[in-house]
Structure 1
């Protein structure tokens, strides 16, 4: 979870700027958390305070509450319209918002069936398009496999065979022509490849940001998987990340990390 938040904050400065390089400062004065972090913490909050397994309504309630508390975090238009309305019905989105917020589910549960069920449940309250659900499930599955001892080749094979994403391309193949794409199908595979080509946590984040486009979300997705695979977020990055959060976001993040990621 902290890895996803770190990716969001690091990538926030470069969103839409098509950086196309791995050589950049990880943090600067303009680094900030975005909706990716807010909704990731919302999912973590649901998990921490719901037993045994959260129903869909819990996600709806928390997403709307967190939106009301963090109005200017940079949400997509459709999510904003839904969150401030009285509607509790999904809006058939296949945006990458379903995948950016799912990392706590991949960390918290010890069987893949539950991970898949809750990834779908967390996604479909807004992103009930099949591609939106698939993006959330693929991301949560990659995190689950990474933290339970699968090597990269097996993670790649499982995600390709189960979800149909093309993970055979290299970042060097993708990078030159890749443009901003906020869909699950246009960013989740790229984020997973950024992880697969990485040598450590920081390298996964640099890989993700170097693609350009929706940098904070691609780095958020890659960061969650990288934390699971490499076992932690480096202390310097973790400390910088937590320093960018307010008291509430930091408290929920630390509680979740203590319970599920220690």
Structure 2
């Protein structure tokens, strides 16, 4: 899940100011964690403590009410509500926060059910749940020794996503889009073309669109396959608050995560 946080932080300054280059500086004073990181940490916290995703997500997002990049309109209303209910979203918020579920130990069904639950408290549209489950299953597939072609097969055969485009092809026509249907396969393509963790994040940002979220999803896959260089991990952790580090560091130390039933 630190891979998702790295992607979010590095991509944060490009979310509304896209670049098509890959030779940008990774971390600058303009970078910071966004709603993607807040929600990812919340999912990790729920898994560590064995509590429900919805109330944990609600609590974290209320504490970080105005993150860089801001929450989407309906999600902001969900955070503000004293009785938050799912709102049938298929936005990529489901995919951006799910990566901790990919580090669950045990059968794949446990991973998929956790991914479903992590999405369904807000994004209970079938496409929202599908996006979350695809990212989580790809992470687990990579952890279990599968490679790029195994991920391609998961995306296409299990979830029906088209991952046949190249990054160059996506880059030429890409527009800002926050749906799982568009951004989840894009993030997988960026991973498939990469040769190391850093390049995966750079490719994800370079295709434009919802840069931080695409990079978060790509980063979560790349972490499971390549690992994260120590220098990059340290820089990302330094961008977080102490209470975030108090979740992220134990999560990394304890994974694979044993579900508390």
Indicate whether 1:28 and 2:28 are aligned: yes
1:59 to 10, 30, 53: 53
Q: State the aligned residue count.
A: 255
TM-score normalised to structure 2 length: 0.95
Q: Given that residues 42 and 57 in structure 2 are in contact (C-alpha distance below 8 angstroms), is that contact kept between their aligned partners in structure 1?
A: yes
Indicate whether 1:222 and 2:207 are aligned: no
TM-score normalised to structure 1 length: 0.95
2:142 to 138, 143, 146: 146
Tell me: CA distance 1:40–1:85, structure 2 relative to 1, closer, same or farther (3 Å).
same
CA distance in 1, matches of 2:216, 2:210: 10
> Which structure 2 residues correspond to residues 70-89 of structure 1 after superposition, within 5 A?
70-73=64-67, 74-89=70-85
CA distance in 2, matches of 1:33, 1:18: 17
| CA root-mean-square deviation | 1.2
Q: Given that residues 162 and 185 in structure 2 are in contact (C-alpha distance below 8 angstroms), is that contact kept between their aligned partners in structure 1?
A: yes
For structure 1, the residue ranges without an aligned partner over 5 or more in a row are none
CA distance in 2, matches of 1:4, 1:145: 17
Deviations 1:50-103 (A, max 9, x none): 1xxx5xxx1111111001110111111111101110223200100000000000
SS of 1:185's partner is: helix
Question: Which residue number corresponds to residue 256 of structure 1?
Answer: 251
1:190 to 170, 183, 186: 186
Question: Which residue number corresponds to residue 203 of structure 1?
Answer: 199
Question: Which residue number corresponds to residue 165 of structure 1?
Answer: 161
Indicate whether 1:246 and 2:202 are aligned: no
